[in-house]
Chains A and B, each alone.
Chain A
Amino acid sequence: AQSVTQLGSHVSVSEGALVLLRCNYSSSVPPYLFWYVQYPNQGLQLLLKYTTGATLVKGINGFEAEFKKSETSFHLTKPSAHMSDAAEYFCAVSLNQAGTALIFGKGTTLSVSS
């Protein structure tokens, strides 16, 4: 069975600091991995996805994530946090490239202070 674990329900950083949001997955087959972001009072939107190929994936708003099969991880990073990055971030895994039946992690709330 697939599962997703996001380490840390809340992460706080200062503006300009590195953002690191952790995600580990469990899957019996090669996974398809996604990061979504949810801004206050909005629906989720896709940040980036890994299906096949290059293990370092670049997304919108300067975020990137690296698929590490040996560590079963897909951590999200951004070199320099901006106030507008404050949101809830969800890691998700799917067994198929279609992204159907996504399994979401419980989410990590990112706070950015000035």
Chain B
Amino acid sequence: EAQVTQNPRYLITVTGKKLTVTCSQNMNHEYMSWYRQDPGLGLRQIYYSMNVEVTDKGDVPEGYKVSRKEKRNFPLILESPSPNQTSLYFCASSFLGTGELFFGEGSRLTVL
């Protein structure tokens, strides 16, 4: 089954404790992206990647890091989480040229 898989789905952590949200897709997509969704703000792009070893900042990259060492994986790293990073995070992927993003089910992160 074609899918984008995120882990963990739910996480409660404390300020400053490094965490990684994993994202994996099995559709051989070149493009992958991370978004955060906040009430009243819609979805905002954090980082994206057009291919292996190619990443770029989105609209709200501060406090986040990403890497793209393999085509299928695109982890989101919070080196020192803060309460304002409490949000619902989505990973998405697509073939370049289609515009059709496939989304994971989301990871709800709470930073205390």
Contact = CB atoms under 8 A, between A and B. Distances in A.
B98 A106 contact: no
B8 to A, nearest CB: 15
Interface residues of A, number: 24
Contacts of A41: 105-106
A100 B50 contact: yes
Interface stretch (A13-21, A43-51, A68-76): A43-51
A11 interface: no
Nearest to A43: B103
A24 interface: no
B47 to A, nearest CB: 11
The bracket for how many chain B residues form the interface is 20 to 34
Interface string A84-114: 0000001000100111111011110000000
Given A43-B4, A98-B98, 11 more contacts: A41-B105, A41-B106, A42-B106, A44-B90, A44-B92, A45-B102, A97-B99, A98-B97, A99-B100, A104-B42, A106-B41
A105 B42 contact: yes
13 contacts: A32-B99, A36-B101, A41-B105, A43-B4, A46-B100, A49-B99, A97-B99, A98-B98, A99-B94, A99-B99, A99-B101, A101-B45, A107-B42
Max chain B CB contacts within 10 Å: which of A34, A101, A105? Answer: A101
Contacts, number: 64
Given A43-B4, A43-B106, A44-B90, A98 B42 contact: no
Give the dominant DSSP class at A's interface.
Answer: loop
Contacts of A43: 4, 90, 92, 103-106
Contacts of B104: 43
A99 B97 CA distance: 7
A52 B55 CA distance: 28
B81 to A, nearest CB: 22
Interface string B68-112: 000000000000000000000010101011111111111000000
Contacts of A34: 99
B31 interface: yes
